[in-house]
Amino acid sequence: MVTSVPTKNTQVVLNERPKAGPITDTTFRSQTVDIPELKDGEVLVKVTYTSLDPTQRGWINDTRSYLPPVEIGAPMRSNGLGRVVVSKSDDFKAGDLVQGLINWQEYYVGPAQSLTKKQVPEGGKEIDFLGLFGMTGLTAYIGLFDIGQIKDGDHVVISGAAGAVGLTATQIALSFPKCKVTAIAGNPEKLEYLKKLGAHNVLNYKDEDFKKQFKNVGLIDVYFDNVGGAILDQALAQIAPYARIVACGAISAYNADKPTPIYNYFNVISMKATWKGFIVMDHAARFKDGITYLADLQKQGKLEYKYHVTEGLDTVVGTLQDMFAGKNVGKTVVKVAKDDSDKSKL
């Protein structure tokens, strides 16, 4: 079969930096550009799936962070998967599955060395490289084990528990026979699902009496924080001696003008707690162990993984907005290429 080489590329680029608040319909715009000629060492990749992540909201702010801000006019940065169409690199050939920062666009053209070759394991599916065995699954693993130092018998509280990271973290904690697990999320359907998975307490942070409900679950040994803000503040008020607070994310602040003040930080001192931030990409040396662990948990039937998938590059902006509105359960992914054969395995 002869694959024709594309000449045009549709991209979703950053149009303007949003002020505080959610992204709007003018934050991004679509454009079609010519595909440049490949240089030595470069590849042309057809993007199949792009990952949507809360951290992308931070990447479009002009502030100091773990990655530089996306430039105005540049394709939106995004982790994704694709198939090599043309290669001018000795390390890749047409048809190879690759992963990397291949952005919101139909085709990636760039240095092959910035991509990683992937092989779907027997019985596995491509999309898992963005979810269960990708950054979000590994964030849950690193967060609970390396940062949270989870041990059997702990009371583990997880916010954002029905999202990509939270769902995995909740089920890892539930796999410890003596751990008590409290899962916090934003709607009754999510709570029902978390209960079905085995969470001992499920709390809706939008309930009027949430504070009271949260207080009733008792002292916390590990708080896996995906959201920051008022939920974090209350968790700090309830930490047990030697508690571990896993500073994973703060989605409640990503759209805010100013983060919510934290009043109970002094409990970190009096309870001799550890409050530690991390960025999963710094823990690459642990990824192999993490993938083995998660695959094993899945084989044992103790880890159910969900994807929230939309189709077409034109859905990226709306799907990112939906994620901030809590419409996803599990990992949010956009299927960019229309003819990908992995669809049946979603």
Ligand X SMILES: NC(=O)c1ccc[n+]([C@@H]2O[C@H](COP(=O)([O-])OP(=O)(O)OC[C@H]3O[C@@H](n4cnc5c(N)ncnc54)[C@H](OP(=O)(O)O)[C@@H]3O)[C@@H](O)[C@H]2O)c1
> Using CB under 6 A as the criterion, which residues of the chain lie in contact with ligand X when the complex forms?
53-55, 135-136, 139, 160, 162-166, 185-187, 190, 205, 226-227, 248-252, 278-280, 323-324, 326, 328, 332
Q: What is Dmax (Cα atoms) for the chain?
A: 68
Task: Read off the DSSP letter of residue 37.
Answer: P
In whole angstroms, the minimum distance from the beta carbon of 41 to ligand X comes to: 29
Q: How far apart are CA 340 and CA 223, in angstroms?
A: 39
- Choice between 108 and 193, CB closer to ligand X: 193
Tell me whether residue 97 or residue 165 sits nearer to ligand X (CB atom).
165
The least distance separating ligand X from the CB of residue 85, rounded to whole angstroms, comes to 29
For tokens 């057809």, the residue is 46
CA atoms within 13 A on the CB side of 210: 19
What lies within 8 Å, CB to CB, of 1 at 6+ separation is: none
Q: How far is the CB of 5 from ligand X (least distance, A)?
A: 35
Query: Which residue, among 253, 275, 256, has the nearest Cα to 264 in the 3D structure?
Result: 275
Give the shortest CB-36-to-ligand X separation in angstroms. 32
Residue number, 135 or 334, with CB nearest to ligand X: 135
- Find the shortest distance in angstroms from Cβ 253 to ligand X: 8
Question: What residue is closest to ligand X based on CB?
Answer: 163
By beta-carbon proximity to ligand X, the closer residue of 84 and 232 is 232
Residue closer to ligand X by CB (options 180, 283) is: 283
CB closer to ligand X, 176 vs 324: 324
Torsions phi, psi for 239 (to 5 deg): -70, 145
- The DSSP bridge partners found for residue 49 are 81, 335
Strand-pair partners of 330: 163
Q: How far is the CB of 317 from ligand X (least distance, A)?
A: 16
Task: Give CA–CA dist 183/201, Å, rounded.
Answer: 6
Smaller CB separation from ligand X, 107 or 133: 133
Cβ distance 31 to 15 under 8 Å? no
State the nearest-atom distance from the C-beta of 96 to ligand X, in Å. Answer: 26
Distance CA 7, CA 330 (A): 35
Q: Compute φ and ψ for 251, nearest 5 degrees.
A: -60, -25
